[in-house]
Structure 1
Amino acid sequence: MTQPVPMAEIWRGSLLESLHLGHAVVCDDSGQIVRSWGDPDAVIYPRSSSKMIQALPLITSGAAAKYGLSTEQLALACASHNGAHIHTDRVNDWLSQLGLDDDDFRCGPQEPADLPARDELIKNDASPCQVHNNCSGKHAGFLTLNQHLGAGPDYVEVDHPVQQACLTAFEEVTGMSSPGYGIDGCSAPNYATTVHGLARAMSWFASAADRSDRASAAAAELSAAMMLHPDLVAGETRACTNLMRAMGGKVAVKTGAEAVFIAIIPEKKLGVAVKIVDGATRASECAIAAILVGLGVLEADHPETRKYLNAPLLNRRGIDCGSLRPSAELRF
């Protein structure tokens, strides 16, 4: 088994203070590995990086067309959002469209990452609702599919028709049977695959326009929605939103908990998957930025890129103390 390789470094002064190891794969439209680091066969949970896969049945089932879902709603179905009003207002409208309310969610409440939204709750002596959960858009998609299928209310159970549809889609696009699942932070099953399997799925999304089947059309629609609405996929200050904006809506990227990051690159028909083994998000952001620069789809000197690539480490007085850098192994 190939060991993880250095991917991101923290330098303070002249000393390498910390080192993050990981695995990464770039796949072409045939699912073959174009470039890899570490172990392509390392088994991982994609976590929220696989939300566009979980949203496939929403479209292929006919539910999205039945309810006339917009590109904004499709982007939210793929989102790990900040809980800002641009997210929660739209998700609440979606629930109303279904004739449902916050109690129908099964994702659990979460304090908003968006500071104005958080402060508003504090000032009003209010508690976060489930709609503030970063996964509420995905769960609105689950509820839409569930209503279309006429299934029971506990749509996050692994044997529920909604989750079985997600598993079928997941195994089809990764090209392998999942070895198992874990329960995600939002209570839905998260199916395991390899880093190669996840990159293969992203290359399948990236090349979707070349195919005419229903699932591929759904994949193209979801990728386009993400690239059209980067602010809904994550939010202000977030790497997903910042990097998609920096690439001018030509690439879809998505983070996942425990330092997973993917990229869908339609113009090159490439898919990318990154996993940092210690779970450090700062490292996965640095690694995905370095790979995107290496693939020629992200400008190294773009202001948003510099937040993650060779980023200065400032102390509380604003003094530059060091930097976050990609390791030599990631340089193309």
Structure 2
Amino acid sequence: MGFTTLVEEYRGGTLENIHYGAITIVDEKGKILYKAGNPDHVTFLRSAAKPFQAIPGMKRRIDEVYGLSGQEAALFAASHRGEAFHIDALESILRKTGIQEEGLHCCATYPLNEDAKADRHRAHEPKRKIFHNCSGKHSGLVALSKHMGWDERTYYKPEHPVQKEIVEALAYIADVPAASIPQGIDGCGLPIFALPLHKIAYAYLKLACPDLIEDAPTRDAVARMARLMNEYPDMIADTQFVCSALLKDSNLAAKGGAKGVYGIGLRKERIGISLKVSDGSEQVWPCIIASILEHIGYDNKDTINRLYALVPNTIVNDGGTPVGERRAVFTLEA
């Protein structure tokens, strides 16, 4: 697969764990500037696809059609972790659109945020579909289907018009033939797509720099979705997660997905970054991303510091005593 060592973890000075993976950085023509591992490695985007899955709805301005707030529309691209303000916004979306929670294809679950989950357990609340981290995306797709007169019950099927439009939008932005994109089924039950890492990086560059997109309706939809992600970063994940931490930086367009995949676009530098951690770990994302930003000389130190604050490189035991360290050890080859 062309993976290389990205992060090593030491306990008491002894190497305990290694995280392998690959990193790719591209310019505005899609040319590979830096790499660690194989930039042609094909991986599913998982939730890193959400900003692109929102494009058909943003093209039709369904947020305006239903009178949604910016916070609510941001959930179309979110992997929200079920904090109270997420659930309040989702319930508002359901009210405004007239969608029934039971009509969402994602399963009922509890929030990913541990404090939010504990709150629901203490209140003896059952699992709900809007607690699912993908429920914002599902709500947006059902709302679009309702607006367009498409079958709302089958919006999750690959042959549904909304799913066909999603594939076409992603293919256009990543500059690949739609027929060449491998598909599977994501954890939430929707179709999901795989791309080479350098194409994921290219797509995220365009998310950050939509002026690179020739088609005006697509360009406008991408620009609006990216702007909402930066304006309401805590809606995209939660107050203590890497996606929200990165999106607080207005220069970045960023979103991660399950099994260790991540995409970032940088507006001022006009580059796209993608990475894949082969064991699927999300815990090492901050270490890797901060190291990439340091390598390219990124000048917003607050962003880098936020990443290290989320998951410090110092490893502590259950009592909080330092017992080891985490090191980014990859080299980005020009």
Q: For the Cα contact (< 8 Å) 1:282–1:308, is it kept in 2?
A: no
Counterpart in the other structure of 2:232: 229
Q: Helix, strand or coil for the counterpart of 2:230?
A: helix
CA contact (8 A) 1:5 1:38 kept: yes
Please list, as runs of the form range in 1=range in 2, the aligned pairs for 1:77-88 lying within 5 A after superposition.
77-88=76-87
* Partner Cα separation in structure 2 for residue 218 and residue 30 of structure 1: 21
Match runs of 1:83-122 below 5 Å? 83-122=82-121
- How far residue 308 of structure 1 moved from its aligned partner, in angstroms, is 5.9
Distance in 2 (alpha carbons) for counterparts of 1:119 and 1:310 = 25
- Per the normalisation by structure 2, the TM-score is 0.92
Could you say which residue in structure 1 is the equivalent of 2:265? 264
Give runs of aligned pairs for residues 17-56 of structure 1, distance below 5 A.
17-56=16-55
Instruction: Tell me if 1:174 matches 2:174.
Output: yes
Residue deviations 1:217-242, cap 9 Å, x none? 21111111111111100002211122
User: In structure 1, what is the equivalent of residue 218 of structure 2?
Assistant: 215
Tell me which amino acid in the other structure corresponds to 1:187.
Answer: G
Q: Deviations over 1:271-307 (max 9, x none)?
A: 1111111111123332222212323054289542323
Superposition RMSD in Å? 2.1
CA deviation profile, 1:164-223 (whole Å, cap 9, x unmatched): 111111111111134321111110010111111111111112221465712112111111
Aligned residues of 1:46 and 1:193 also touching (Cα < 8 A): yes
Q: Percent identity?
A: 28
Secondary structure of residue in 2 paired with 1:96: helix
The 1:65–1:124 alpha-carbon spacing in structure 2 relative to 1, beyond 3 Å, is closer
Q: Is the 8 A contact 1:77 1:137 kept in 2?
A: yes
SS of 1:111's partner is coil
Indicate the residue corresponding to 2:186 in structure 1: 184
- In the alignment, residue 324 of structure 1 is paired with which amino acid? R
The Cα of 1:131 is off from its aligned counterpart by: 0.4
Q: Which moved more, 1:254-263 or 1:69-78?
A: 69-78
Deviation at 1:63, TM superposition (A): 3.0
Secondary structure in structure 2 of the residue aligned to 1:282? coil
Aligned to 1:288: 289
Shift of 1:309: 7.1
* Distance 1:82-1:159 versus aligned 2 partners, 3 A rule: same
> Counterpart of 1:108 in 2: which secondary structure?
coil
- CA apart distance, 1:114: 2.6
In the alignment of these two chains, the number of paired residues is 329
CA drift of 1:66 comes to: 2.5
Partner SS, residue 235 of structure 1: coil
Relative distance call for 1:165 and 1:123 in structure 2 (3 A) is same
Structure 2: gaps (5+ residues): none
CA distance in 1 between partners of 2:66 and 2:253 (Å): 25
The amino acid of 1:262's aligned partner reads: G
Aligned counterpart for 2:203 among listed residues 201, 204, 207: 201
Structure 2 SS opposite 1:127: coil
2:5 counterpart SS class: strand
Residue identity in the other structure for 2:238: G
Amino acid at match of 2:157: E
- Unpaired stretches in structure 1, ≥5 consecutive residues: none
- Provide closer, same or farther for how the CA distance between residues 293 and 244 of structure 1 changes in structure 2, counting only shifts above 3 A: farther
Residues 28 and 205, structure 2, Cα contact 8 Å, conserved in 1? yes
| 3-state DSSP of counterpart to 2:324 | strand
Is 1:251 the counterpart of 2:252? The answer is yes
Give the Cα separation in 2 of the matches to 1:302 and 1:26.
18
TM-score by length of 1: 0.92
CA contact (8 A) 2:260 2:280 kept: yes
* Alpha-carbon distance in structure 2 between the residues aligned to 1:184 and 1:9: 29
Moved more, 306-315 or 227-236: 306-315
Moved more, 285-294 or 262-271: 285-294
Query: How far did 1:13 drift?
Result: 2.4
Asked if the contact 2:290–2:304 (Cα under 8 Å) also holds between the matched residues in 1, the reply is no
| Local SS of the residue matching 1:8 | strand
